[in-house]
Structure 1
Amino acid sequence: MTINQHTPYYLGLAQWHHPAWYTTADSSSLALALYSKAFTSVEGNSSFYGLPSTKSIDDWAKRAHSPFAFCFKFPQSITHHSALYQCDRQVTEFLNRIAPLGDKTGVLWLQMNNQFSPEHLERLSRFLSNLAPDFEYGIEVRNLGFFDKADNEKRFNQILMQHGVNRVSFDTRALFAHPKNDPVTQEAFRAKPRMPVHVIATGNSPFIRFITPLDIELGYDYLAPWIKKVAGWIHEGKKPYLFFHTPDNQAAPQLAQYFNEQLKALCPQVPSLQLPSHTWLNNTSQTELF
């Protein structure tokens, strides 16, 4: 798919709707249009559990402002149940369902569980070889064997480079460095992986997921190296994707805004991220983001 040449990088969150971000009861029907006024991408996590309907895809393509890139996750039937083996039909169905998004299709990514290990590298290579060349792809792995800084990791990275597939990094260090006892944080501790962070661009669109504690400022020190790295990738002509999370995602927009401001200091060509004013929260006659 064509990458928008006027977008230095893609910036987004884990979702385009959150009840804390909108002001009226009917905001769910308007959420994507409002969200895409500020952000240029979104993680499409819902596709992991089931394919979106054709009607939904068409509706999303119409509602999202350009430039915008949907980064849908491969269904779990492919990544978890089949572990990339004998799943050609499911892959074709997924890609055909996503295709009507056209130039609003971003990196389509595989999120593997920790059972998928370096023992499956040949299977991964065959799977990537058979993927349609019409899309960009990424993969997130959660088995420590892929982080050994030795033969397993080198072979994994070589396979991704060979196929131009982006290695997805999920940086959870800030979250685990600041444990809290509140239910939201404890649920994040159970759900999020505690993995090393090895920074490498194996494709043209480095794909970074970043989560902080509920107090987003506790993540700023961990975010600082990413700001420099992303600036470097942009100067090299790559198109990074950045997605920001918090345990409940309520303050994720402000985290993304902070990152954007810091990045703009190094890359003046980066557009400013404008979040709508919080004063709209008190104006029920308007339906706006935040």
Structure 2
Amino acid sequence: MRLHVGCAMWAHAPWQGRFLPHPLPPAERLRAYASWCNAVEGNTTFYATPTRATVETWARQTAPDFRFLLKLPKTITHERRLANAGEELRAFLAAVEPLGPRVHALWVQLPGAFGPHDLGALAAFLRGLPPAYRYTVEVRHRAFFEDGGAARDLIRVLGGAGAEWVPFDTTVLFRSPPTSDAERDAWTKKPRVPRRAPALTDRPVVRYLGRDDVDRTVEGWGPWAEKVAGWLREGRSPTVFVHTPDNAEALPLARRFHDDVRALVPELEPLPEPVPAEPPTLF
């Protein structure tokens, strides 16, 4: 039984010197993060395919049971819209190969304009992916959340490929007006869709976006703690990524979510103690 938790990134300026040692060379930052969390979103791969040498440093900094959820590059998902992207896909797969089993899944994040009429392209794309990896799909078109027929069609496509539907739960963010600059910015950029919870596979993935207020973030994830506890009891292995608009407290919040689930499922192993931000002193 294992619950993976993490954040949207492994290097964030507000964490330096508070949660993570500072200064740290780039080749050590992921190692420090991995002492706090056992998973991370691979958002950087959305913007550009990393070099194989870079990915090899990621593997060296993480234990074999650490997990990456890596976004496919936007050239594949947003620019080519899953069509005629074989060359880009092959380059990406070759680059991430050094991670081996650390790749929890490859993540197909689709643009908001990708709707029910595009499901044929998604089905064809998923059929052409190598079976060595698992795949997760994030959709943002409101029809998939508000039209039962569209949702069933999407589930049918995903089920045929053994892929998971990744919910991005922003309901807590949009529950009341923003109170910080980061929240105001998030209001203009994040998808405003209903919460969706059912799992399609034995490895469900959740992206949860709270508020910059810690208490409101913790209060808002209550339904997810219950849902994740239920998945663990069913024998599933969930992964949960905790976001806030400024992400200043996301690192300890991810661990706190793990603790909240463990309170419901006591047999869940605790996370190891993180590396201290400052070396111990004699006095």
Aligned residue in 1 for 2:236: 238
Answer yes or no: is 1:120 the counterpart of 2:114.
no
Task: Select 1:50's aligned residue among 43, 48, 51.
Answer: 48
| Superposition deviation, residue 258 in structure 1 | 2.2
Aligned residue in 2 for 1:9: 3
The one-character-per-residue Cα deviations of 1:213-240 (angstroms, maximum 9, x if unpaired) are: 1002112333111111111111222111
What amino acid does structure 2 have at the position aligned with 1:80? H
The one-character-per-residue Cα deviations of 1:108-127 (angstroms, maximum 9, x if unpaired) are: 10111111000011111111
Counterpart CA distance in 2 for 1:275 and 1:73 is 28
Q: Using a 3 Å threshold, how does the CA distance of structure 1 residues 275 and 209 change in structure 2: closer, same or farther?
A: farther
Aligned residue in 1 for 2:187: 189
1:260 is paired with a residue whose SS is helix
What amino acid does structure 2 have at the position aligned with 1:13? C
TM normalised by structure 2 equals 0.92
Unaligned runs of 5+ in 2: none
* Structural mapping, 1:3-152, within 5 Å: 8-23=2-17, 24-26=22-24, 28-152=26-150
Task: Select 1:259's aligned residue among 257, 260, 264.
Answer: 257
Q: 1:37 touches 1:65 (CA, 8 Å); kept in 2?
A: no
Unaligned runs of 5+ in 1: 1-6
TM normalised by structure 1 equals 0.90
Counterpart CA distance in 2 for 1:169 and 1:216 is 21
Give RMSD over aligned pairs: 1.8
1:106 is paired with a residue whose SS is strand
Moved more, 215-224 or 38-47: 215-224
Aligned residue in 2 for 1:4: none
Q: 2:166 touches 2:206 (CA, 8 Å); kept in 1?
A: yes
2:183 is paired with a residue whose SS is helix
| Superposition deviation, residue 175 in structure 1 | 1.1
What amino acid does structure 1 have at the position aligned with 2:72? F
Counterpart CA distance in 2 for 1:65 and 1:246 is 26
1:55 is paired with a residue whose SS is helix
Q: 2:107 touches 2:135 (CA, 8 Å); kept in 1?
A: yes
Q: In percent, how many aligned pairs have the same letter?
A: 32
What amino acid does structure 1 have at the position aligned with 2:210? T
| Superposition deviation, residue 195 in structure 1 | 1.0
Counterpart CA distance in 2 for 1:175 and 1:28 is 32
